[in-house]
Structure 1
Amino acid sequence: MSAKAASLEGRIRQHWQQLSSHEQRLADILLAAPGQLAMNTATELAQSAGVSKATTTRFFRHLGYESYDTARRQAREMQSSGSPLYLQPLSSASPLDAVMQQHLEKEIANIVNSYRNLESAELQGAVNALAQARRVVVMGWRHSQTIAQLIYRDLVHIHPDVRLLPRPGDSLAEHLAALGPQDMAICVGLRRRMPALDAAMGVLAERQVPMLYLADVLSGKPARHAQWVIRCHTDSTLIFDSTVALSGVCNLLCSLVARQMGKASNDYLAQVEALHQSLDELE
């Protein structure tokens, strides 16, 4: 059985024709929101589908699971990895105002909890290193690069040598080869991280490049390479992870770097602004 077929939804599609009508009803519920398996007991899941608990037990055995708990563990692993499919709730009749309020409260909690977790000494250490670095590279893949771009967009105004990686058409080696202890890397690794991140950070560690690692609370293996680690809360009441706390922390980080660099950052920013006007780039 392939890795894809071994997932819950893959197994359902593979065995669909062999399922009874009641089992297919249960399958429809799980295909719509497979994360329900992680959150519900077998009895609760059976009730939501309008089938018996015995039907639920047979269903998972037909799919090749040893037990309901085995399937549930797999679903929880998928949730922990950040799969949007497994984070998606069942359709709810809740009024939009209630959904918006719940979402807002969760976003506020993410910001508050992330800032409470910040350690001033660690943050100051990273800020000092960034302010003194000859070159700063900011790395991230997939949705992590969106956060990396936020950092790059701020730092490029105050630091003379900032680079965003990976760049289209380039290999990492072409950029990592030039880095050493006098440089600095900011690595962003939100859940569903690509293996390339850990590999790149391993190379940077070998080259003694100081690293700041920005991640969710389950920071994963790459954290072991970094001198400084900032973990932000990303849980959401809806399908996609929240990035509001990360955005705020990135703003704080870059602003503190500008403050630490003092006149050097102000002088560089003044040159940038003068060139904006000279080139007529901005309204």
Structure 2
Amino acid sequence: MSVKTASLENRIRQCWEQLSSHEQRLADVILAAPGQLAMNTATELARSAGVSKATTTRFFRHLGYDNYDAARRQARDMQNSGSPLYLQQFQSGSPLDAVIQNHLEREVANLVNTYRSLDAQQLGDITQAVAGARRVVVMGWRFSQTIAAMLYRDLIHVHHDVRLLPRAGDSLAEHLAVLGPLDVAICVGLRRRMPALEAAMNAMAELRVPMLYLSDVLSGKPSRQATWIIRCHTEGSLIFDSTASLSGVCNLLCSLVARERGKARNDQLALIESVHQWLDELE
């Protein structure tokens, strides 16, 4: 990896022995919360580290940046990508009550902003498509699979054929090759997406599979192949992205699909309850 493409943290670690004591003090402050570069000016950063602005300028040039703004742009790119290292806010001095209140307000704001952005006509079209699909495939990678699994767990109660991908140890081709226009894929793509998601959606586009794409506000490249897109607000108040709006939208979508399926839903739920009793699975 060249110096020009290396992350801020890697540049600091590579140059640590060559840094002056003042520069190492500045480096310690930055490594504690790299995301502050995206918000602070060079003067503010120097003040927080107790060094001069001239030391700050030398420090970033020493790391291979043309200037402070170049490092700041890289930090903003890392924030936008969803890196927890860059999302964490330096709040060690904040009272716990204030942190909790700020977190609550952010969660509520994400819910409100997401629900306000929902298009009722589009949501109705999605509901009908999922409810009437021959087969529903739900897929996601990394943390997105956690949300995909949430959808899967609810949909299997009301739809006769729902599959969660990718499955451990399997390649995708065997599962995607059987899909077509009569099926629906629900693709979850939260930021820090893996390239496999875009590749899978490109393949399903070739197979003419209708696709719902559930994403954060910055939906990225996979959105180009989606039939429908629902963008959720996921801004976090601390180190991790919020999932409150995603949970709410998943619950709403699955409930609407259940309502749309009517008698077929009730018949399936009744059969599931009977099998639970046969197997003595639940308390």
TM superposition score normalised by structure 1? 0.98
Distance 1:251 1:2 in 2: 46
Counterpart for residue 200 of structure 1: 200
Query: Partner of 1:262 in structure 2?
Result: 262
SS at match of 2:164: strand
Matches within 5 A, 1:199-278: 199-278=199-278
Q: Does 1:92 align with 2:92?
A: yes
Q: Secondary structure at the match of 1:137?
A: strand
Question: Within 5 A, what are the aligned runs for 1:73-152?
Answer: 73-152=73-152
Aligned residues: 283
Query: How many Å apart are 1:194 and its aligned residue?
Result: 0.3
User: SS at the partner of 1:145?
Assistant: helix
1:267/1:4 CA distance change after superposition, 3 Å: farther
Residue matched to 1:64: 64
How far off its partner does 1:175 sit? Answer: 0.3
Question: In the alignment, which residue of structure 1 is the partner of 2:169?
Answer: 169
Deviations 1:92-117 (A, max 9, x none): 21111111111001000000000000
Which AA in structure 2 matches 1:73? R
2:141 and 2:11 mapped to 1: Cα distance?
A: 29
Question: What is the distance in 1 between the residues matched to 2:49 and 2:3?
Answer: 27
Task: Say whether the 8 Å CA contact 1:107–1:244 is kept in structure 2.
Answer: yes
RMSD in angstroms over aligned alpha carbons? Answer: 1.1
Contact 2:4-2:65 at 8 Å conserved across structures? no
- Partner of 1:169, secondary structure, is coil
Are the equivalent residues in 2 in contact too, given 1:79–1:86 (CA < 8 A)? yes
Unaligned runs of 5+ in 2: none
Structure 2 match to 1:189: 189
Report the equivalent of 1:6: 6
Q: Determine the structure 1 residue equivalent to 2:15.
A: 15
AA paired with 1:71? A
Question: Structure 1 residues 3 and 183 mapped into 2: Cα distance closer, same or farther (>3 Å)?
Answer: farther
Q: Per the alignment, in what secondary structure is the counterpart of residue 35 of structure 1?
A: helix
Question: For residues 113 and 21 of structure 1, what CA distance do their matches in structure 2 show?
Answer: 46
CA distance in 2, matches of 1:103, 1:177: 44
- Kept in 2, the 8 Å contact 1:5–1:14? The answer is no
Q: Measure, in 1, the Cα distance between the counterparts of 2:99 and 2:75.
A: 24
3-state SS, counterpart of residue 186 of structure 1:
strand
Amino acid at match of 1:251: N
1:135, 1:184 within 8 Å by CA — same for their partners in 2?
yes
Report the CA distance between 1:266 and its aligned residue. Answer: 1.1
User: Which range moved further: 203-212 or 3-12?
Assistant: 3-12
Give 1:279 deviation, angstroms. 0.7
The residue type equivalent to 1:151 in the other structure is L
Runs of 4+ aligned residues of structure 1 deviating over 2 Å after TM superposition are 1-5
Residues 200-236 of structure 1 deviation map (CA, whole Å, 9 limit, x = unaligned): 0000011000000000000001011111100000001
- What SS does the aligned partner of 2:34 have? coil
Tell me the SS of whatever aligns to 1:262. helix
How far apart are the structure 2 equivalents of 1:104 and 1:181?
42
Taking every aligned residue pair, what percent have the same amino acid on both sides?
Answer: 75
**1:48 paired residue number:** 48
CA contact (8 A) 1:15 1:63 kept: yes
Shift of 1:75: 0.4
Q: Quick one: distance in 1 between partners of 2:5 and 2:23?
A: 18
Deviations 1:171-200 (A, max 9, x none): 111100110000000000000000000000
How far is 1:63 from its partner?
0.1
Which amino acid in 1 is paired with 2:105? E
**8 Å CA contact retained: 2:210, 2:226:** yes
Q: Which residue of 1 aligns with 2:30?
A: 30
**SS of 1:242 mapped into structure 2:** coil
